[in-house]
Amino acid sequence: MGKVHGERLPRRAHHSNLGDYGQAVSHFKWGDVERQFTWYETGKVNMAYEAVDRHVEEGRGDKTALLYSDPVREEAYSFADLKEQSNRFGNVLRKYGIGKGDRVFLFMPRQPELYFCLLGILKIGAVAGPLFEAFMETAVKDRLEDSGAVALVTTPELLPRVKREELPELRHIFLVGGDADEESGLHAYDLESASVSAELEPEWLGLEDGLIMHYTSGSTGKPKGVYHVQRAMIQHYYTGKVVLDLQKDDIYWCTADPGWVTGTSYGIFAPWLNGVTSVVRGGRFNPRDWYDTIERCGVTVWYSAPTAFRMLMGAGSESLRGVDLSSLRHVLSVGEPLNPEVIRWGDKVYGQRIHDTWWMTETGGMLICNYPGMDIKPGSMGRPLPGITAAILDDQGKELPPYSMGNLAIRTPWPSMMERIWNNPARYEEYLRIPGWYISGDSAYMDDEGYFWFQGRVDDCINSSGELIGPFEVESKLVEHPAVAEAGVIGIPDALRGEIVKAFISLREGYSPSETLKAEIAAFVRAGLSAHAAPREIEFKDKLPKTRSGKIMRRVLKARELHQPAGDLSTIED
């Protein structure tokens, strides 16, 4: 592969917690990071204690931890408030016999109670499982069932999407803003937490004890429950310092929802472990509201995603009229490839270089990043975090030289690496099939200065607006529709969303193709799974390309769609 990156943006004067990259890499020891935690002395670990209670004990209780706003509410909570509210919910959970290792899920919009409850779950050593509020029935059921969740925090609006009769292990539901019906295990969150003590002794844990679960998609099978443990805090804290560059007086805004890993690792843990004020905006995306949030809260560090930046770019100069974004000091991105064009636009309109970061649900924290003060090559994900070794391997595990495309791999272990795939050790082992390495599923190459360049997914996963979608989950839903005989789902390029979902469908006898049927099928997926997983394009076909063993060949569908060579067709049916 030739050198494709002629452009290099100059280093900017920028105070950085990392300092010189080369020096930081050669002097780095995880042990030095670990010494920053109280458990290094006491031997007792609890994420919620380190992120919240510790600040109260060390005299920072009055500092604002959470600045919340949505179109109707505007509230601020200090670290002392968070301590109290999470203690209360922890006590409520204990009252119902819930404790260490139990999975307690959250299915609700971004609002302060979500944060109180999540911290309360962690305080008692239970494992939190946040679900994105846009999930519909099947998506919710699959995740609650697989995790064996014993309790769920939700709202009356979302409760109808929880198929309780099919979830025997789910014994308790806490309704935020709703009434109790104790006989059927429905508890009123507000009443319950007001009636218990505000004092609580956290459950003291080991570094390998459970913390949080996030479901992510693969190209086959149901979503995978990625299980993270307490030690992840080491990486959250450290990357908060040297990548987000968090400093004492920062006002930090991570735009991700806690239903996705970015919204917990970097919407909750990294800022609060560093004692920094975190902004949460409820409601839907809207350029004016977003800029207004930055201006009103005085956001200094902003972590968002390429699709959001592209939407802001598309909103044009009108959306910027009269807004003052001069508080911004550091802007970062994650989740999908960040277009060089967007970086140049950010330079112009925000006076800020957007710093790309690369990581995954499974990695728990950032691994390859652009650091404050470093030369940025637009289009590159950056360089490995000090303490992390990344490489490009061929399929046999041989390390490839610069500019060769191959499997992006990370030397195991690192602190925030997932501890397992819930209920599925075989799928966990797949990531570790080459001894000593974690195989990410991304293809990339490294240049001769150690910068990494993303090339694509190795598997069939679709990345739409930064959300990873498993084609199998969508196909399974599609074939539940009475008109659908078979379905094959691929991602196709889209200027705004990176990729969008396209479904190829063969119809059952008695159904004929029509635009109405397309709309009906798309709505069926939207209602069953979620809006982001629903196909934005549908094409009816008499027959789908299949292997002789009957597997639909997405690769062939994709090649035809993109007018590319289809590669090896020796296994195709006819």
Give the C-alpha distances (Å, rounded to integers) separating 366 from 237, 323, 328, 384, 537.
11, 31, 21, 9, 33
Q: Tell me the sheet residues that pair with 502.
A: 490, 537
**Which of 230, 339, 361, 476 touches ligand PRX (CB under 6 A)?**
361
Window of 115-123, 172-180, 335-343, 505-513 that interacts with ligand PRX by CB under 6 A: 335-343
Size of the site for ligand PRX (CB under 6 A): 21
Asked whether 185 and 173 are in contact (CB, 8 A), the reply is yes
DSSP string, 208-262: TSEEEEEEE--SSSSPEEEEEETTHHHHHHHHHHHTS---TT-EEEE---TTSHI
One-letter amino acid of 128: A
> Does 441 engage in binding with ligand PRX (CB under 6 A)?
yes
Query: Which candidate, 230, 228, 235, 227, places its Cα nearest to that of 387?
Result: 235
Window of 115-123, 286-294, 391-399, 437-445 that interacts with ligand PRX by CB under 6 A: 437-445
363 conformational bin, left if phi > 0, alpha if psi -120 to 50, beta if neither: alpha
CA 537 to centroid of chain Cα atoms? 25
> Does 303 engage in binding with ligand PRX (CB under 6 A)?
no
Smallest distance, Å, CB 262 to ligand PRX?
A: 5
DSSP string, 311-356: HHHHTTGGGGTT---TT--EEEEESS---HHHHHHHHHHTS-PEEE
For 126, the token pair is: 């239970």
Quick one: 66 or 368, whose CB is closer to ligand PRX? 368
CA 322 to centroid of chain Cα atoms? 32
Q: Tell me the sheet residues that pair with 277.
A: 251
Asked whether 452 and 407 are in contact (CB, 8 A), the reply is no
Smallest distance, Å, CB 50 to ligand PRX?
A: 22
Quick one: 67 or 261, whose CB is closer to ligand PRX? 261
> Does 262 engage in binding with ligand PRX (CB under 6 A)?
yes
Asked whether 85 and 120 are in contact (CB, 8 A), the reply is yes
> Does 392 engage in binding with ligand PRX (CB under 6 A)?
no
> Does 381 engage in binding with ligand PRX (CB under 6 A)?
yes
Cis preceding linkage at 413, omega within 30: yes
Closest residue to ligand PRX, judged by C-beta, is: 361
> Does 499 engage in binding with ligand PRX (CB under 6 A)?
no
Per CB under 6 A, contacts with ligand PRX among 214-253 are: 216
Window of 67-75, 359-367, 482-490, 500-508 that interacts with ligand PRX by CB under 6 A: 359-367
**Which of 155, 239, 278, 440 touches ligand PRX (CB under 6 A)?**
440
> Does 263 engage in binding with ligand PRX (CB under 6 A)?
no
Window of 170-178, 193-201, 277-285, 438-446 that interacts with ligand PRX by CB under 6 A: 438-446
> Does 359 engage in binding with ligand PRX (CB under 6 A)?
yes
For residues 458 and 341, what is the distance between their CA atoms, to the nearest angstrom?
25
> Does 203 engage in binding with ligand PRX (CB under 6 A)?
no
For residues 186 and 175, what is the distance between their CA atoms, to the nearest angstrom?
7
Quick one: 352 or 357, whose CB is closer to ligand PRX? 357
**Which of 457, 518, 526, 536 touches ligand PRX (CB under 6 A)?**
457
> Does 155 engage in binding with ligand PRX (CB under 6 A)?
no
> Does 266 engage in binding with ligand PRX (CB under 6 A)?
no
Please report, in angstroms and rounded to a whole number, the separation of the first and last CA atoms in the chain.
34
> Does 468 engage in binding with ligand PRX (CB under 6 A)?
yes
> Does 334 engage in binding with ligand PRX (CB under 6 A)?
yes
Smallest distance, Å, CB 365 to ligand PRX?
A: 9
Residues in contact with ligand PRX by the rule CB under 6 A: 216, 261-262, 334-337, 356-361, 381, 440-442, 454, 457, 463, 468
